[in-house]
A and B are shown apart, each in its own frame.
Chain A
Amino acid sequence: MNKSLEDAPIIAIVDDDASVRRSLLRVVRSAGYNAEIFASAREFLDWLPRNRAACIVLDVQMSEMSGFDLQERLAVPIIFITAHDDAPTLERIEKSGAAGHLRKPFDAPTVLRAIRQAVQVNHDRIDGGPRLESAK
Protein backbone atom coordinates (compact mmCIF):
# COMPACT_ATOMS: atom_id res chain seq x y z
CA MET A 1 0.00 0.00 0.00
CA ASN A 2 1.33 3.36 -1.00
CA LYS A 3 1.77 5.69 1.94
CA SER A 4 1.82 8.82 -0.17
CA LEU A 5 -1.69 10.25 -0.09
CA GLU A 6 -1.69 11.43 -3.70
CA ASP A 7 -0.90 8.00 -5.01
CA ALA A 8 -3.02 6.17 -2.50
CA PRO A 9 -6.06 4.47 -4.00
CA ILE A 10 -9.30 6.34 -3.69
CA ILE A 11 -12.04 4.72 -1.71
CA ALA A 12 -15.44 6.04 -2.75
CA ILE A 13 -18.09 6.13 -0.08
CA VAL A 14 -21.66 6.40 -1.35
CA ASP A 15 -24.33 6.70 1.32
CA ASP A 16 -27.32 8.99 1.57
CA ASP A 17 -26.87 9.25 5.31
CA ALA A 18 -24.60 12.24 6.03
CA SER A 19 -23.61 11.03 9.42
CA VAL A 20 -22.56 7.59 8.25
CA ARG A 21 -20.80 9.12 5.31
CA ARG A 22 -18.73 11.47 7.43
CA SER A 23 -17.76 8.82 9.96
CA LEU A 24 -16.66 6.44 7.20
CA LEU A 25 -14.63 9.20 5.60
CA ARG A 26 -12.78 9.71 8.87
CA VAL A 27 -12.15 6.00 9.34
CA VAL A 28 -10.91 5.45 5.82
CA ARG A 29 -8.69 8.50 5.82
CA SER A 30 -7.27 7.67 9.23
CA ALA A 31 -6.21 4.33 7.78
CA GLY A 32 -4.18 6.15 5.14
CA TYR A 33 -6.51 5.87 2.18
CA ASN A 34 -7.70 8.61 -0.07
CA ALA A 35 -11.43 8.87 0.24
CA GLU A 36 -14.27 10.65 -1.44
CA ILE A 37 -17.83 10.79 -0.22
CA PHE A 38 -21.01 10.95 -2.26
CA ALA A 39 -24.58 11.47 -1.05
CA SER A 40 -26.11 9.63 -3.99
CA ALA A 41 -25.34 7.33 -6.86
CA ARG A 42 -25.88 10.24 -9.20
CA GLU A 43 -23.20 12.33 -7.47
CA PHE A 44 -20.77 9.45 -7.78
CA LEU A 45 -21.54 8.92 -11.46
CA ASP A 46 -20.90 12.60 -12.09
CA TRP A 47 -17.51 12.30 -10.45
CA LEU A 48 -16.51 8.99 -11.97
CA PRO A 49 -15.56 9.89 -15.55
CA ARG A 50 -12.66 12.06 -14.39
CA ASN A 51 -11.51 9.85 -11.53
CA ARG A 52 -10.96 6.30 -10.56
CA ALA A 53 -11.89 4.49 -7.42
CA ALA A 54 -10.10 1.49 -6.05
CA CYS A 55 -13.18 0.37 -4.22
CA ILE A 56 -16.67 1.61 -3.44
CA VAL A 57 -18.32 1.38 -0.07
CA LEU A 58 -21.89 1.49 -1.30
CA ASP A 59 -25.15 1.78 0.58
CA VAL A 60 -27.83 -0.49 -0.88
CA GLN A 61 -30.93 1.36 0.27
CA MET A 62 -30.90 4.79 -1.23
CA SER A 63 -33.73 6.75 -2.72
CA GLU A 64 -33.60 7.54 -6.42
CA MET A 65 -30.95 4.99 -7.46
CA SER A 66 -30.15 2.08 -5.23
CA GLY A 67 -26.74 0.55 -4.69
CA PHE A 68 -27.77 -2.35 -6.93
CA ASP A 69 -28.69 -0.01 -9.75
CA LEU A 70 -25.33 1.66 -9.50
CA GLN A 71 -23.46 -1.59 -9.31
CA GLU A 72 -24.89 -2.67 -12.66
CA ARG A 73 -22.99 0.15 -14.29
CA LEU A 74 -19.65 -0.44 -12.61
CA ALA A 75 -16.81 -2.89 -12.59
CA VAL A 76 -15.13 -1.56 -9.44
CA PRO A 77 -15.04 -3.83 -6.39
CA ILE A 78 -17.98 -2.98 -4.25
CA ILE A 79 -18.54 -3.37 -0.56
CA PHE A 80 -22.26 -3.22 0.01
CA ILE A 81 -23.47 -1.82 3.27
CA THR A 82 -27.01 -2.40 4.46
CA ALA A 83 -28.96 -1.06 7.40
CA HIS A 84 -31.37 -3.98 7.33
CA ASP A 85 -31.63 -7.16 5.32
CA ASP A 86 -34.60 -8.92 4.00
CA ALA A 87 -34.28 -12.20 2.14
CA PRO A 88 -34.47 -10.75 -1.40
CA THR A 89 -31.79 -8.16 -0.62
CA LEU A 90 -29.47 -10.79 0.80
CA GLU A 91 -29.98 -13.03 -2.20
CA ARG A 92 -29.27 -10.22 -4.56
CA ILE A 93 -26.09 -9.29 -2.73
CA GLU A 94 -24.93 -12.88 -2.82
CA LYS A 95 -25.45 -13.11 -6.55
CA SER A 96 -23.98 -9.68 -7.23
CA GLY A 97 -20.36 -10.78 -6.97
CA ALA A 98 -19.68 -7.91 -4.58
CA ALA A 99 -16.35 -7.80 -2.82
CA GLY A 100 -17.99 -7.58 0.51
CA HIS A 101 -21.15 -7.01 2.48
CA LEU A 102 -21.28 -5.21 5.79
CA ARG A 103 -24.36 -4.91 7.93
CA LYS A 104 -24.89 -1.76 9.84
CA PRO A 105 -23.95 -1.21 12.54
CA PHE A 106 -20.36 -2.21 11.88
CA ASP A 107 -17.22 -0.83 13.43
CA ALA A 108 -14.09 0.67 11.92
CA PRO A 109 -11.84 -2.42 11.94
CA THR A 110 -14.55 -4.36 10.08
CA VAL A 111 -14.91 -1.85 7.29
CA LEU A 112 -11.15 -1.37 7.01
CA ARG A 113 -10.59 -5.12 6.79
CA ALA A 114 -13.17 -5.31 4.01
CA ILE A 115 -11.61 -2.41 2.16
CA ARG A 116 -8.13 -3.90 2.41
CA GLN A 117 -9.37 -7.18 1.02
CA ALA A 118 -11.33 -5.56 -1.78
CA VAL A 119 -8.46 -3.36 -2.84
CA GLN A 120 -6.15 -6.36 -2.77
CA VAL A 121 -8.51 -8.46 -4.87
CA ASN A 122 -8.97 -5.55 -7.19
CA HIS A 123 -5.22 -5.23 -7.51
CA ASP A 124 -4.93 -8.91 -8.34
CA ARG A 125 -7.71 -8.62 -10.84
CA ILE A 126 -6.11 -5.62 -12.54
CA ASP A 127 -3.17 -7.83 -13.35
CA GLY A 128 -5.21 -10.40 -15.12
CA GLY A 129 -8.84 -9.43 -14.79
CA PRO A 130 -10.83 -8.69 -17.93
CA ARG A 131 -13.83 -7.40 -16.05
CA LEU A 132 -12.84 -4.03 -14.83
CA GLU A 133 -13.46 -1.54 -17.60
CA SER A 134 -13.68 1.66 -15.64
CA ALA A 135 -10.78 0.87 -13.34
CA LYS A 136 -8.17 0.77 -16.13
Chain B
Amino acid sequence: MNEPSGNTAVAELFDAHSRVLLLYARQWVGMAGAEDVVQRVFVRLVSSGRLPAEPGTWLFRCVRNEAISYRRSENRRSRREQAVASDAMGWFVTHPGDRLDAGNAQAALETLSPDQREVILLRLWSGLTLSEIAGVTEVAVSTVHARYEAALATLRQKLENPCRNRKT
Protein backbone atom coordinates (compact mmCIF):
# COMPACT_ATOMS: atom_id res chain seq x y z
CA MET B 1 0.00 0.00 0.00
CA ASN B 2 1.31 3.44 -0.88
CA GLU B 3 0.59 6.61 0.98
CA PRO B 4 -2.23 8.57 -0.57
CA SER B 5 -1.12 11.22 -2.96
CA GLY B 6 -4.29 13.15 -2.42
CA ASN B 7 -7.80 12.81 -3.59
CA THR B 8 -6.80 13.44 -7.15
CA ALA B 9 -5.28 9.98 -7.47
CA VAL B 10 -8.55 8.31 -6.55
CA ALA B 11 -10.43 10.68 -8.81
CA GLU B 12 -8.14 9.77 -11.68
CA LEU B 13 -8.65 6.10 -10.97
CA PHE B 14 -12.37 6.63 -10.95
CA ASP B 15 -12.33 8.44 -14.28
CA ALA B 16 -10.03 5.91 -15.87
CA HIS B 17 -11.58 2.67 -14.65
CA SER B 18 -15.12 3.27 -13.46
CA ARG B 19 -16.80 2.45 -16.77
CA VAL B 20 -14.92 -0.73 -17.49
CA LEU B 21 -15.33 -1.73 -13.86
CA LEU B 22 -19.05 -1.28 -14.28
CA LEU B 23 -19.05 -3.44 -17.39
CA TYR B 24 -16.87 -5.98 -15.62
CA ALA B 25 -19.23 -6.14 -12.66
CA ARG B 26 -22.19 -6.61 -14.96
CA GLN B 27 -20.82 -10.01 -15.93
CA TRP B 28 -22.09 -11.28 -12.60
CA VAL B 29 -24.83 -8.92 -11.52
CA GLY B 30 -27.39 -6.63 -13.09
CA MET B 31 -27.00 -2.97 -13.83
CA ALA B 32 -28.12 -1.76 -10.42
CA GLY B 33 -26.01 -4.36 -8.71
CA ALA B 34 -22.98 -3.43 -10.78
CA GLU B 35 -23.41 0.18 -9.80
CA ASP B 36 -23.53 -0.84 -6.15
CA VAL B 37 -20.48 -3.04 -6.52
CA VAL B 38 -18.31 -0.38 -8.15
CA GLN B 39 -19.50 2.18 -5.67
CA ARG B 40 -18.64 -0.04 -2.73
CA VAL B 41 -15.17 -0.70 -4.05
CA PHE B 42 -14.40 2.97 -4.53
CA VAL B 43 -15.90 3.84 -1.17
CA ARG B 44 -13.67 1.24 0.39
CA LEU B 45 -10.66 2.65 -1.44
CA VAL B 46 -11.41 6.20 -0.29
CA SER B 47 -12.17 5.12 3.26
CA SER B 48 -8.94 3.18 3.58
CA GLY B 49 -6.97 6.35 2.92
CA ARG B 50 -4.28 4.45 1.07
CA LEU B 51 -3.67 3.57 -2.52
CA PRO B 52 -2.79 -0.03 -3.38
CA ALA B 53 0.52 -0.80 -5.04
CA GLU B 54 -1.18 -1.74 -8.29
CA PRO B 55 -4.43 0.18 -8.27
CA GLY B 56 -5.75 -1.15 -11.58
CA THR B 57 -5.31 -4.78 -10.72
CA TRP B 58 -6.52 -4.17 -7.18
CA LEU B 59 -9.70 -2.51 -8.41
CA PHE B 60 -10.60 -5.31 -10.82
CA ARG B 61 -9.87 -7.97 -8.24
CA CYS B 62 -12.01 -6.18 -5.69
CA VAL B 63 -14.84 -5.67 -8.14
CA ARG B 64 -14.71 -9.32 -9.09
CA ASN B 65 -14.90 -10.53 -5.50
CA GLU B 66 -17.54 -7.98 -4.61
CA ALA B 67 -19.67 -8.84 -7.63
CA ILE B 68 -19.54 -12.56 -6.90
CA SER B 69 -20.49 -11.91 -3.31
CA TYR B 70 -23.23 -9.55 -4.40
CA ARG B 71 -24.63 -12.13 -6.80
CA ARG B 72 -24.85 -14.69 -4.02
CA SER B 73 -26.85 -12.30 -1.91
CA GLU B 74 -28.90 -11.21 -4.87
CA ASN B 75 -30.01 -14.78 -5.53
CA ARG B 76 -32.40 -14.36 -2.67
CA ARG B 77 -34.22 -11.62 -4.49
CA SER B 78 -36.51 -12.11 -7.41
CA ARG B 79 -34.93 -12.67 -10.76
CA ARG B 80 -37.43 -10.35 -12.34
CA GLU B 81 -36.02 -7.35 -10.54
CA GLN B 82 -32.59 -8.25 -11.80
CA ALA B 83 -33.80 -8.63 -15.36
CA VAL B 84 -35.53 -5.25 -15.30
CA ALA B 85 -32.45 -3.62 -13.85
CA SER B 86 -30.17 -5.31 -16.37
CA ASP B 87 -32.24 -4.19 -19.33
CA ALA B 88 -32.44 -0.62 -18.14
CA MET B 89 -29.17 0.37 -19.78
CA GLY B 90 -26.89 -1.22 -22.36
CA TRP B 91 -23.24 -1.97 -21.97
CA PHE B 92 -22.14 0.58 -24.52
CA VAL B 93 -23.16 4.06 -25.54
CA THR B 94 -24.28 4.14 -29.13
CA HIS B 95 -22.55 6.61 -31.43
CA PRO B 96 -23.26 7.02 -35.15
CA GLY B 97 -19.58 6.91 -36.04
CA ASP B 98 -18.86 3.57 -34.40
CA ARG B 99 -17.43 0.92 -36.68
CA LEU B 100 -19.34 -1.74 -34.78
CA ASP B 101 -22.91 -1.64 -33.59
CA ALA B 102 -23.05 -1.38 -29.82
CA GLY B 103 -26.12 -3.58 -29.48
CA ASN B 104 -24.64 -6.30 -31.65
CA ALA B 105 -21.38 -6.13 -29.76
CA GLN B 106 -23.19 -6.58 -26.50
CA ALA B 107 -25.18 -9.46 -27.89
CA ALA B 108 -22.02 -11.11 -29.19
CA LEU B 109 -20.27 -10.66 -25.90
CA GLU B 110 -23.21 -12.18 -24.04
CA THR B 111 -22.91 -15.34 -26.10
CA LEU B 112 -19.38 -15.94 -24.87
CA SER B 113 -18.70 -18.15 -21.94
CA PRO B 114 -18.20 -16.25 -18.68
CA ASP B 115 -14.50 -17.08 -18.58
CA GLN B 116 -13.88 -15.90 -22.14
CA ARG B 117 -15.99 -12.80 -21.68
CA GLU B 118 -14.12 -11.87 -18.55
CA VAL B 119 -10.77 -12.12 -20.29
CA ILE B 120 -11.97 -10.12 -23.31
CA LEU B 121 -13.35 -7.34 -21.15
CA LEU B 122 -10.24 -7.06 -19.09
CA ARG B 123 -7.93 -7.18 -22.09
CA LEU B 124 -9.74 -4.81 -24.41
CA TRP B 125 -11.15 -2.15 -22.10
CA SER B 126 -9.16 -2.22 -18.91
CA GLY B 127 -5.75 -2.29 -20.53
CA LEU B 128 -4.42 -5.01 -18.27
CA THR B 129 -1.75 -7.32 -19.61
CA LEU B 130 -2.33 -11.04 -19.88
CA SER B 131 -0.25 -11.68 -16.77
CA GLU B 132 -2.22 -9.11 -14.82
CA ILE B 133 -5.45 -10.70 -16.03
CA ALA B 134 -4.07 -14.03 -14.88
CA GLY B 135 -3.53 -12.49 -11.47
CA VAL B 136 -7.03 -11.11 -11.31
CA THR B 137 -8.77 -14.24 -12.53
CA GLU B 138 -6.40 -16.53 -10.62
CA VAL B 139 -5.58 -18.77 -13.58
CA ALA B 140 -2.42 -19.39 -15.57
CA VAL B 141 -1.29 -16.93 -18.19
CA SER B 142 -1.47 -19.59 -20.87
CA THR B 143 -5.09 -20.22 -19.95
CA VAL B 144 -5.83 -16.54 -20.19
CA HIS B 145 -4.19 -16.39 -23.60
CA ALA B 146 -6.14 -19.35 -24.86
CA ARG B 147 -9.42 -17.90 -23.62
CA TYR B 148 -8.63 -14.55 -25.19
CA GLU B 149 -7.85 -16.08 -28.59
CA ALA B 150 -10.97 -18.19 -28.54
CA ALA B 151 -13.17 -15.29 -27.46
CA LEU B 152 -11.74 -13.01 -30.10
CA ALA B 153 -12.31 -15.54 -32.84
CA THR B 154 -15.89 -16.03 -31.73
CA LEU B 155 -16.55 -12.30 -31.68
CA ARG B 156 -15.06 -11.80 -35.11
CA GLN B 157 -17.17 -14.56 -36.46
CA LYS B 158 -20.34 -13.10 -34.97
CA LEU B 159 -19.72 -9.41 -35.64
CA GLU B 160 -17.97 -9.40 -39.00
CA ASN B 161 -20.24 -11.97 -40.61
CA PRO B 162 -23.56 -11.54 -38.84
CA CYS B 163 -25.66 -12.73 -41.76
CA ARG B 164 -23.71 -15.94 -42.20
CA ASN B 165 -24.02 -16.63 -38.52
CA ARG B 166 -27.76 -16.21 -38.60
CA LYS B 167 -28.05 -18.70 -41.50
CA THR B 168 -26.01 -21.25 -39.66
Q: Do A and B come from one complex?
A: no
B-to-A contact residues, CB < 8 Å: none
